[in-house]
Amino acid sequence: MNNRLLKDTHRWLGLIAGVQLLLWTVSGLYFTLIPIETIRGNHLLVDQPDPALLLNTNLISPSDLVQQHAALASLTIHDIRLTQRLDRLVYVAEDAAFDGHTGESLAPLSKEEAIHIVRARTRLEPISAMKLEETAPDHEFRGGPLPVWQVQTDVENARFYVEPMSGRIRAVRTDAWRWFDFLWSLHIMDYETRDNFNHLLIQFLSVLGLLTVLSGLALFVTTEIRKRTRIRSKN
């Protein structure tokens, strides 16, 4: 391949793949600069006592709970989780919650209770809450179990997603996470679900990026060879 053709090839490859190479670099830089704990919003949460520390002899056993509720007969004790919901211990199994002391079935959290949980777990002041029954494929809580309470605060534009049965905060979404999510979509070139990086578009651009680098190296080598050949011929 002559030098002129190599230059043109490298130039066109760089033009086509260069923008995506820049996006990969910028997004990768953001991923490395911002701690993952900040992205996940862990810094906004305060520690909660482990339910195991609150155990007492008045708790009903998981096996007794299964016997008490026929709908749980197909479950094992490993499918039943003990957690803290507001000021009580509860057992959570599938999409149901039960009082840890009586085994009584519990209703889902109300809006006020979801707000109280976020206030207690974050020390922030919620400003609104809404129950999500469904979400779009590109929603910031995509892929999570529904329904869920979305509680908005005014610190870092943070939203907390609270399970209505267990009271568990499933996810925290801040502006730092939203930037991460946006850059991640550019990084993997999946602009809808933002989860798939095994598709033809990213594979095609990756090959172009590799060819751009290889053609640049080839151009450097051939240029150096030509330069040294001219020097020898002059001598």
Walk along the chain (235 residues) and give the pLDDT tens digit of each residue: 567 777 777 788 888 888 898 999 999 999 999 999 999 999 999 977 665 555 565 888 888 998 999 889 888 888 999 888 988 899 999 889 999 989 999 999 999 999 999 999 998 999 999 999 999 888 999 888 899 999 999 999 999 999 999 999 999 999 999 999 999 999 999 988 888 888 899 898 888 888 888 888 888 888 887 787 777 776 6
The CA distances from residue 227 to 1, 2, 7, 154, 201, in Å, are 17, 14, 16, 63, 39
DSSP 91: E
Q: What is the pLDDT of residue 170?
A: 95
Output 192-201 pairs: Cβ under 8 A, ≥24 positions apart: 192/137, 192/138, 193/137, 193/138, 193/142, 194/138, 194/142, 195/143
Q: What is the pLDDT of residue 179?
A: 97
* Pairing between β-strand 159-162 and β-strand 105-106 as defined by DSSP bridges: unpaired
State in Å, rounded, how far the first CA of the chain is from the last one: 27
Q: Contact at 8 Å (CB) between 77 and 92?
A: no
* Pairing between β-strand 81-85 and β-strand 169-173 as defined by DSSP bridges: unpaired
Q: What is the pTM of this model?
A: 0.82
Q: Which of 179, 215, 184 is nearest to 197 (CA)?
A: 184
Q: Which of 203, 193, 168 is nearest to 85 (CA)?
A: 168
Q: What is the pLDDT of residue 218?
A: 85
Output 150-154 pairs: Cβ under 8 A, ≥24 positions apart: 151/114, 151/115, 151/118, 151/126, 152/126, 152/127, 152/128, 153/118, 153/122, 153/124, 153/125, 153/126, 153/127, 154/124, 154/125, 154/127
Q: What is the pLDDT of residue 144?
A: 83
